[in-house]
Amino acid sequence: MSTETHFQETKNIPRHVAVIMDGNGRWAQAQGEDRLFGHSNGVDSVRETLKCAREFGIKFLTLYAFSTENWARPKTEIDGLMQLLVASIHNEIDELQANGVRLKTIGDVERLPKDCIESLKEAIETTKNNQEITLVLALNYSSRDEIIRACNRLAEKVKTGLLTPGDIQQKDLENVLDTANIPDPELLIRTSGEYRVSNFLLWQLAYAEMHFTQVFWPEFRREHFIEAILDFQSRERRFGKTSDQIS
């Protein structure tokens, strides 16, 4: 049985898949190209992954596109990434709209360049009623930064009497994270043979299955995505219970 046939027969599809798109720079440099060449080829992988995710009935796809730590990269690379983001939104917006894709962001986006903020705001507004799939771009994102911003929001609520110290529940924190109203990812994919979480969705990945592949992000295609889903489907998700309890 081919991977494709096997995949289509199964029903256990994760609701939310998160991806650490890694290896753009190494992929480009291995060919004697500039790192930005890797990032712009990475956009093809984004397009293909989104298409597959939508086709397979996945409802949320979160992509780690720019971390708070990425500001430490050379200015030319940062500028190139920001331009690529604006150009990609411009090029893809009709396709997103036609395919029922709702765009969202997580991260401290107000610190991005003005033209990025404007493009993102416009695309988010245009696609806000779409229901097929939500594409979440993590931009100027890191999990510890998100949690600190959330703590400050909780502190404000305590100050104004909306919350009582000693009575704060998990839900209260979840409601003030950037991911409020987004279900936790059930599957995390990281490309390029790195085995780290790199400050990505630390709270939300508590029960996620992890899939690591050697493939560099610009080479990530449908077959690799299916491999990740099959890997997810082969796992027994126990959520702290015993195997007998869940069977």
Catalytic residue positions? Answer: 22, 70
Cβ closest to ligand FPP, residue 22 vs residue 146: 22
Residues in 80-119 at the binding interface with ligand FPP, rule: CB under 6 A = 84-85, 88
25 forms part of the interface with ligand FPP (CB under 6 A): yes
Among 65, 103, 177, 208, interactor with ligand FPP by CB under 6 A: 65
Side-chain half-sphere CA neighbours of 242 within 13 A: 2
25, 37 contact by CB (below 8 A): no
Cβ closest to ligand FPP, residue 23 vs residue 107: 23
Tell me the β-bridge partners of 134.
Answer: 60, 102
Least distance in angstroms from the C-beta of 35 to ligand FPP: 6
Task: Tokens for 125, please give them.
Answer: 């507004």
Task: Tokens for 11, please give them.
Answer: 């029903």
39 forms part of the interface with ligand FPP (CB under 6 A): yes
Among 7, 33, 34, 43, interactor with ligand FPP by CB under 6 A: 43
Chain length of the chain: 247
Tell me the β-bridge partners of 188.
Answer: 18, 210
Least distance in angstroms from the C-beta of 168 to ligand FPP: 34
Percentage helix, strand, coil for the chain under 3-state DSSP, each rounded to 5:
50, 15, 35
Name the residues that contact ligand FPP, by CB under 6 A. Answer: 21-26, 39, 42-43, 46, 63, 65, 70, 84-85, 88, 137, 217
